Amino acid sequence: MKVPERLEALLHGKPVDHIPFLTFTLGFCAKNVGIPVSDIYSKPEKSFLAQLWTQEQYGYDTTPFYGYASYGGAEFGGEIKMPDGQYEQAPSHGKFSVYTEEDLAKLAFPDVTKAGFIPLAMEFSLLQKKYRMPVSLVIGGTFTVAGNVCPVETLCRWLIKNPDAVHRLLRIVTDHLIAVVKYWTDTFGSGNVDVQIWEPLAANQIISPKQFEKYVFPYQKEMNEKILAGGLHSLLLHICGEQNRNLPFWAEIPMGNSGIASFGREVDIATAIQYLGNKCIIAGNIEPSFIQTASPQELYKLCRVTIEKGKQAPRGFILMPGCETPVNTPAYNMFTMVKAVKDFGKY
């Protein structure tokens, strides 16, 4: 099967020749073709081609996409710094737009056609369409975007001391995210857009399951329901970090038919299948730092174990790193993961 046929088949419940491999590669592609990592985020055409060529080189199932985890920072009026140093891999926060309740009161609903990096993301999606690749939109989960608008430490304090402020922030963030998706579906047609939602901040490394239930679950559920009601077939949710205690809630959040739930190394694939395997495709969970530091033999072995667990998923499995593939991943390790999928990924 050719790209993107394999993934499309899996999403529609059809047989695949072997499990797909989504690489979560951005900066890695820049380094691979010899452009600065920042071009991935600031120069849509260079970014698109770097990803396209790298995909062609390795033959994995990821098609070019535009996205970064600090979405919402610039879109709500804050400042984002592009990666420019030897040890940087993604855009990061310069200045937030909300530090106080007064800032929150003044927070304006962004113009979804002009705010922050949205015009660059749209330019990228027009390239996806031009090259007949799947059109995608990457956004954060409601809680992660709230933490990109307001510093996480402030947000955490407000969870206990000022719940009203958190709800006000989550309301505007949720409405904005729904509006951005609508902008994409209005532009490309609802059946032609793949939406990815990345949610690292709701991890139990930060908040408790009770806080998840109170602040993440209702807004994320509402957002997904409204997006799917707009005609999208499915969503990819990257449920990043330690989320084991949140799994009962994630299992109640709609992801489409079949959506994809991708996990980090903290959530065992067998556990993910137990909670979400009957409702969506499971993806994951090769630890990025392991991809970067392990020998090819060690990585091949881990991929085999992971694939064998994943093949038990009733709606299918996708091998995927637990988060973005590191920029400095050895080339042979990328080849190793592709090889593992071909060697062990047949049903």
Binding site for other proteins (CB under 8 A): 27, 81, 83, 85-90, 92-93, 152-153, 156-157, 159-161, 204-208, 211, 241, 245, 287-289, 291-293, 323-324, 326-328
Nearer to other proteins, 193 or 286 (CB): 286
Bridge partners (DSSP) listed for residue 198: 140, 238
The minimum distance between CB 260 and other proteins, in angstroms, equals 22
Q: Got the DSSP string for 259-328? A: EEEEE-TTS-HHHHHHHHTTTEEEEEEE-HHHHHHS-HHHHHHHHHHHHHHHTT-TT-EEEEESSPPPTT
Whole-number minimum distance, CB 199 to other proteins, in Å? 15
Q: Nearer Cβ to other proteins, position 29 or 135?
A: 29
In this structure, what are the phi and psi dihedrals at residue 43, rounded to the nearest 5 degrees? Answer: -130, 90
Cβ closer to other proteins: 1 or 152?
152
Per-position b or e across 266-275, b if 16+ CB within 10 A of its CB: bbebebbbeb
Least distance CB 5 / other proteins (angstroms): 31
State the sign of the Cα–Cα–Cα–Cα dihedral 268, 269, 273, 274.
Answer: negative
Distance CA 310, CA 267 (A): 12
Q: What gap in Å lies between CA 101 and CA 150, rounded to an integer?
A: 10
CB of 195 to other proteins, least distance (A): 25
Encoded tokens for 146: 């709230």
Nearest-10 Cα torsion for 136, 316, 244, 215: 40
Query: 38 or 128: whose CB is closer to other proteins?
Result: 38
**Shortest distance, position 206 Cβ to other proteins, whole Å:** 5
What is residue 110's DSSP assignment? P
How many angstroms separate the CA atoms of 91 and 79, rounded? 10
CB burial readout 291-310, b (16+ within 10 A) else e: bbebebeebbebbeebbebb
Q: How far is the CB of 342 from other proteins (least distance, A)?
A: 25
Considering the complex, state which of residue 12 and residue 210 has its C-beta at the smaller distance from other proteins.
Answer: 210
C-beta of 78 vs 259, nearer to other proteins: 78
Shortest distance, CB of residue 294 to other proteins, whole angstroms?
10
Of 83 and 116, CB closest to other proteins: 83
Eight-class DSSP state of 133: P
Q: Indicate the residue among 83 and 277 with the shorter CB distance to other proteins.
A: 83
Residue 110 contacts residue 173 (beta carbons within 8 Å): no
**Closest to other proteins by CB, 152 or 179:** 152
Q: Which amino acid is at 67?
A: G
Q: How far is the CB of 218 from other proteins (least distance, A)?
A: 18
Cα gap 76→176, rounded to integer Å: 9
What's the closest the beta carbon of residue 164 comes to other proteins, in angstroms? 15
- What is the Cβ-side half-sphere exposure of residue 347, based on CA atoms within 13 angstroms? 17
